[in-house]
Amino acid sequence: MKAAVFREVGHPLSIEEVPFPRRESEREAILKVLATGLCHGDVHLVAGEWEGDIIVETPRILGHEIVGELTHDVGGLRKGQKVLVYSSIGCGQCKYCKAGKYQFCERVRVIGYHYDGGFAEYVKVPDFRYLLPVEGNPIELAPLADAGITAYNATEGIGPSDEVLIIGTGTVALYALQILKRRGAFVSVVGSSVPKLEVASKLGSDEVIQAKRRNYVEKASEKSSRRRFDYVLDFVGADYSLKDALWLLRNEGELRVVGEFGGYVHYPEQLLVLRGLKIRGILYGSFQDLAEVYRVYREGWLKTLPVPFKLEEINDAINESHEGRIIGRPVIVP
């Protein structure tokens, strides 16, 4: 079968013929890949920006945002059934796994990092219980398997009386915006890309604020009609976005950090104590989050904004993503 193989940091993926995955236990599932989203995490990994943080043994087939078609019956699922893949495979025994939060399992293994992933014609999933049956266009569905889950988790508990600042205009931020507007929250979006801010406006943002990257928080403070916010959702996670974000929160407000651009958090402890502020990291989400964001999509109020590329074009997709030229989610179709 054909696959895009990650062999060396800083080098393009190699389009190769590789062996078909083999089923070795009754729990394993083989999928014909219909579409796989290109997560910015894959871009970070190929560029070498996560060296030392996530160790991936090469050669490896990346891609964890997968929708596929079962090649056989397994665990009550039928051959030919379309499924979304939940990519974080837990041990099944720890407290996190028992709570359905497999991404926090200390022995977690991720499809596309520790197992070969979806940038190929076929993929093996270690356990059928990590598959969600779905219907719809695979190219639209694929981004739900990571970007959708993460956006849903990032917006947990935020409701109609809340005022929210979103920092960044990437795919996950645009999904979170749609979810928050459906719930009736007031949402401001700050970013540097005028075209992406225009999309945010069309998706319902109450206000958009254009700023240079180094001035996101400063411009949000100056230009927003809200002096402070109940929540700040940082989909960048760089030093410049994290630096002063807590100052934009109301008492008992919460900063949720979703982006992973390597920033550091430095705040006076009295700011946290006297205002009762909270800082929360958002990593992926639960299997239930996948089911919920799929429901949201099926109800018709979440646009996944896919930008399709052929498997042979994956390096173009990676380069365009790294340079910030894509609005929406690149989706690789084998």
Mark whether 139 and 171 lie in a shared domain.
Answer: no
**Structure tokens, 94:** 């720890």
Mark whether 229 and 292 lie in a shared domain.
Answer: no
Give residue 53's pLDDT: 66
Mark whether 100 and 126 lie in a shared domain.
Answer: yes
Q: Domains in the chain: how many in total?
A: 2
Give residue 227's pLDDT: 83
Residues with Cβ within 8 Å of 110's Cβ and at least 6 positions away in sequence, in order, are 64, 87, 88, 89
Domain of 161?
152-281
**Considering only CA atoms, which of 21, 37, 41, 39 is closest in space to residue 29?**
21
* Identity of the residue numbered 60: R
Mark whether 45 and 130 lie in a shared domain.
Answer: yes
CATH of the domain at 171: 3.40.50.720
Mean pLDDT in order along the chain per 10 residues (334 residues) = 95 96 95 96 83 79 98 96 97 93 95 97 97 98 98 97 96 98 97 96 97 88 91 95 93 95 87 94 96 96 97 97 92 97
Picking from 261, 281, 301, the residue at the C-terminal end of a domain is: 281
Mark whether 18 and 138 lie in a shared domain.
Answer: yes
SS3 187: strand
Mark whether 305 and 327 lie in a shared domain.
Answer: yes
Mark whether 166 and 216 lie in a shared domain.
Answer: yes
CATH of the domain at 79: 3.90.180.10
Mark whether 124 and 91 lie in a shared domain.
Answer: yes
Mark whether 13 and 107 lie in a shared domain.
Answer: yes
Mark whether 20 and 70 lie in a shared domain.
Answer: yes
